[in-house]
């Protein structure tokens, strides 16, 4: 942080100014002139929160992708397929047992096992062959997408959260002031808040596990120099399988979250594959904090875009990617090679 401030004083100033403006926009009661110019504060606040929670979902999907890529240089273009599979497994679990919470571990385990199979049967056989991995995983995603269409049908599914999570909750953010001087507080869906908090917990736990534990140390060493790590006697293939299972499991959990947030249907796999591609390109390949930052940026861009200039909302996210690529090809928090 301090290094950054010392190296780029101007940028730090700009960023600090932006943060102050943002905080003012969130907490202040908007003057009427501003409301006339950009619309009511309620719209702004819900776009902001929707963007942040969507960022949480993107982070869940993209962190698995970036972890797998960072450690093993495995290009898993079937990641979106794992997400969709998690969604279907979660939906059917929640449907059969009636328990929303049970859907998460089941989706994690089932999709994690699929990840192990992918690593053992596919990636281990073609280590270091980027193009072949890409092609094989594209082939797998085509086949599995059609199998899922066959098995689960083409309908939209929606995983409904339990009653204690549904319904809005009143937050402490003022959205507007009534004529009588009474403050109106923003109402926000409980389930989105819970899911966002869960995404933050997962992110922090991952950061702690990577930076404070022995396994995490092995993984970080593997990211930096795989051959040297295996030469020191670490059983790197087992670490690989574990990381792949965890990354795939995260995609499965994200599938359940996505099914609760939005819906699951054929085609969502490509959408989330693209989203996680953009997120990791913007944030920097193989970096967990980068994935968090990228997910937040893309989620916010998508939501603000759909509120303030709805026609080109999707294009905005790609525009961010192009700008990042043009000025910082390794991603915002990626390491320069």
Partner 1 sequence: MADMTSSVNLKKSRLEDVHPAYWILGIVLLVIPAFVSPFIMFQLMGWTFILGIIALSLMFLGGYGGMISMAQMALAGFAGYMIAIFGSSAIDTISQGWPWWIVIPLALFLTMLFATAIGWLAVRTEGIYTIMITLAIAAAFFYFTRQNYDLFNGFQGFNSVLPPRLFGVDWRGPYAFYYLTLFFAVGSYALVLYISRAPFGLTLQGVRDNPRRMAALGYNVTAHRVAAYAFAGLLAGIGGILLTWQSSQISPGTVGITPAIDILIIAVIGGLRHPVGAFIGAFIYVILKTFAVDILVSMGLAGERFQLLIGLGFLIIVLFSPDGVLGLWEKYRENRNRDPLTGEDRGDSRL
User: Is 147 or 209 the residue whose CB approaches partner 1 more closely?
Assistant: 147
Site string for partner 1, 242-271 (x = CB under 8 A): ----------------------------x-
The answer to whether residue 128 forms part of the interface with partner 1 (CB under 8 A) is no
The answer to whether residue 139 forms part of the interface with partner 1 (CB under 8 A) is yes
With H, G, I as helix, E, B as strand and everything else as coil, classify residue 170.
Answer: strand
With H, G, I as helix, E, B as strand and everything else as coil, classify residue 331.
Answer: coil
Rounded CA separation 298/288 (Å): 15
Closest CA to 31 of 41, 19, 22: 41
The answer to whether residue 107 forms part of the interface with partner 1 (CB under 8 A) is no
Rounded CA separation 163/296 (Å): 28
User: If DSSP states are collapsed to H, E and C, what string results for 181-238?
Assistant: CCEEEEEEEHHHHHHHHHHHHHHHHHHHHHHHCHHHHHHHHHHHCHHHHHHCCCCHHH
**Shortest gap between Cβ of 139 and partner 1 (angstroms)?**
4
User: Is 250 or 273 the residue whose CB approaches partner 1 more closely?
Assistant: 273
The answer to whether residue 147 forms part of the interface with partner 1 (CB under 8 A) is yes
The answer to whether residue 34 forms part of the interface with partner 1 (CB under 8 A) is no
Q: Which two tokens stand for residue 35?
A: 């409301």
User: Is 96 or 132 the residue whose CB approaches partner 1 more closely?
Assistant: 132
User: Is 4 or 312 the residue whose CB approaches partner 1 more closely?
Assistant: 312
**Shortest gap between Cβ of 325 and partner 1 (angstroms)?**
6
Closest CA to 57 of 78, 86, 23, 26: 86
Rounded to the nearest angstrom, the gap between the alpha carbon of residue 326 and the centroid of all alpha carbons in its chain is 23
| DSSP tag of 122 | I
Question: How many residues touch partner 1 (CB under 8 A)?
Answer: 34
Task: Select from 96-104, 138-146, 159-167, 169-177 the region that touches partner 1 (CB under 8 A).
Answer: 138-146
Rounded CA separation 195/105 (Å): 15
**Shortest gap between Cβ of 230 and partner 1 (angstroms)?**
22
User: Is 251 or 278 the residue whose CB approaches partner 1 more closely?
Assistant: 278
Site string for partner 1, 276-295 (x = CB under 8 A): -xx--x---x----------
Site string for partner 1, 207-236 (x = CB under 8 A): ------------------------------
User: Is 53 or 81 the residue whose CB approaches partner 1 more closely?
Assistant: 81
Rounded CA separation 78/257 (Å): 19
Rounded CA separation 315/302 (Å): 9
Rounded CA separation 135/153 (Å): 26
**Shortest gap between Cβ of 180 and partner 1 (angstroms)?**
42
Can you tell me which of 78, 103, 136, 292 binds partner 1, judged by CB under 8 A?
A: 136
Rounded CA separation 37/231 (Å): 63
Report the interface residues with partner 1, using CB under 8 A: 75, 129-132, 134-136, 138-140, 142-143, 145-147, 150, 270, 274, 277-278, 281, 285, 311-312, 314-315, 318-319, 321-322, 325-326, 329
């Amino acid at each position: 942080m301090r290094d950054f401030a010392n190296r780029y004083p101007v940028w730090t100033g700009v960023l600090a100014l932006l943060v102050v403006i943002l905080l003012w926009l969130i907490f202040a009661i908007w003057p009427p002139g501003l409301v006339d110019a950009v619309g009511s504060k309620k719209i702004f606040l819900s776009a902001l929160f929707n963007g942040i929670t969507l960022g949480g979902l993107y982070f869940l999907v993209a962190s698995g992708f970036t972890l797998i890529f960072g450690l093993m240089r495995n290009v898993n273009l079937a990641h979106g397929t794992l997400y969709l599979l998690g969604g279907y497994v979660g939906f059917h679990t929640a449907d059969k047992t009636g328990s929303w919470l049970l859907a998460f571990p089941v989706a994690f385990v089932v999709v994690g096992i699929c990840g192990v199979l992918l690593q053992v049967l596919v990636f281990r056989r073609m280590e270091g062959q980027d193009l072949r991995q890409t092609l094989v995983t594209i082939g797998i995603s085509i086949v599995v997408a059609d199998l899922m269409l066959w098995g689960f049908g083409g309908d939209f599914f929606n995983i409904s959260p339990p009653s204690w999570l549904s319904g809005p909750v009143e937050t402490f953010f003022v959205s507007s002031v009534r004529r009588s001087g009474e403050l109106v507080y923003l109402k926000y869906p409980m389930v989105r808040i819970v899911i966002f908090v869960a995404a933050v917990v997962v992110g922090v736990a991952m950061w702690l596990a990577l930076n404070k534990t022995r396994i995490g140390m092995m993984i970080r060493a593997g990211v930096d120099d795989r051959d040297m790590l295996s030469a020191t006697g670490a059983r790197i293939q087992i670490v690989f399988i574990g990381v792949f299972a965890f990354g795939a499991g995260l995609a499965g959990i994200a599938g359940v979250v996505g099914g609760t947030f939005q819906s699951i249907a054929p085609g969502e796999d490509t959408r989330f594959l693209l989203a996680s591609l953009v997120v990791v390109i913007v944030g920097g390949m193989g970096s967990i904090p980068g994935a968090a930052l990228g997910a937040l940026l893309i989620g916010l861009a998508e939501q603000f875009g759909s509120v303030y200039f709805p026609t080109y909302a999707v294009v905005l996210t790609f525009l961010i990617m192009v700008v990042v690529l043009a000025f910082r090809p390794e991603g915002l928090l990626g390491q320069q090679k």
